[in-house]
Structure 1
């Protein structure tokens, strides 16, 4: 029940063809009452994107009324249809202003929000949590190296992304066992290309490398909009709650929906639960860049209150928000739905997390894990200070998996 994600359900459309019927459990909002109940598939989809944003978006209070926004008039003539939906989503994402009149979702890419996005469904989802698992084998921790500097035992691990946990859990367990065997005191995580991925995978890695003294302390919390927390997002009644095998979960004698999820901050506060036997970590160093985002930033943020933490490279992307998918016709919509906060309540890294040791970008022929590579060399010197660095072992494995550029929540709880 822990791996879930909302699947199916288009406002006013079921299975993309028949009209959606209101039932006794469904309440309507003023915008739903104003929006037309009939129209073309494209018009209804434009309405749905607006209405879901009005109920689920983290900054929904900034959005105009349906009549003012008028999605049909502004976007129905844009072709192809996906471009019309993307333009609408971009417009919706630009209303909420953070500071200096700059939107939270300001982006350097024209017509693309910084966080929210939509995509045509490429594969059927297996559960309300994520896409069907891949059977393609690969080595996750593709580079692993060890050094000694005085009494410091240093390890380097390249983490390219945070894919579904079930595809990498065994390898992460093996990695932690090796770190424990080597009695590593200083760990370097190379996250420079890590655009994020699944929250549960980043959380699992955090529990493997954290010292036992952090057990049961707050790791991070996910803060949904107050209207979502208070059960006012009635459109979630149209999103079934599916188990890991893709079957509808029965709840209180009826099929569960995403409206049955507990969105309170208490229910979405995550705690360190120590896993494995690696318990010697004294300092965590992270190699980062502007491509470091989402779940990798969550990992960094979670350790800030507890461990000496050094960031090497360039300021990160800045993505302290996450989402879950909403199915709208043939598309999956990802609205920035919740704010990520660490144990200190910190979440203000919309412009990225600053580094302790800034470095210029370099083109290099050295593979990750090679101490001759400039950024790793700088991280090693930062740890060793004036002590001599002695290589112990190094290994390189299979090609890297595809990057996951998102922060996807899959571990909801029912009320």
Structure 2
């Protein structure tokens, strides 16, 4: 068994066998049947599942490596993105060189779509797609793990409880990230902090940065970071399909002190995040850090400066900020009407009111928070003020 076999993505030699395992997985076929034929699945699922399995075997016949698989599924990803967005734009790709591997450190709002949009941008720019870090809490069912590891995902063991086990897991993760970038020339995508920023407050956890250094502690911290070509990435959604669910969770946590997920809640979030309406989406790739500071906290502040400074604010963000009780008096934030055409603001006001109307009154402050926080953070960063 190889050093990284427990966490790495599947290799080309494993693709065919894993695909066949998926096409025989009853749970996977059931979900596909409900997704493709929602009205017929309940009564005729027993008939539809073998037909779908047969179609998949024919569709993916001859696929025996990861690159071919990604080329095959790329049109499906594109169609999904086109249906759920009003367009995807991206900037900063001039910072990236073909043939170079990068450590993409990104803000995190959606479990599946954040790395999917990064893949979308670099793929259409003719660059190699990164390997994707995903928490083992999302891989409870074998077919989900198979799907993700086929698509260049590697596993972050977050469910471990013992201190020694956690330390060993993060040591292995650190070593794998360094090996992937430096030895194999494969880029990495990882979130700036564990879990999604449900309140819209994107902050880099310095513990993540320290983890990158764990496997190379005999080298200076800044040199290790520089060798990984750490590149901050901002992902901006005009509308978050899961915003109402996040507002509910934040409200329950605030009023009861805890929140327990219902069975299947992660699956529902994934489905909503993929298919739900997002409006416009913008990605910005910052400049790789060529002179990182030696202090992890100072490095976190620099990453935040790039992620927050390059975040694309849409009219809805300003509309939410105008309603927010947590406005920053030390910075002047213009109104949406001062920055955007009247028609664009009117469309945003209509969509924003729909979301507010669908949100219980007591949960609305937490909905507003999600869209207002990026405004506060960006204007504080641009003014040179601490977050």
- Structure scoring higher RCO (CA < 8 A, sep ≥ 6) equals 1
Greater fraction strand: 1
TM-score, normalization by structure 1 = 0.25
TM-score, normalization by structure 2 = 0.27
Q: Between Structure 1 and Structure 2, whose CA radius of gyration is higher?
A: 1
Greater fraction helix: 2
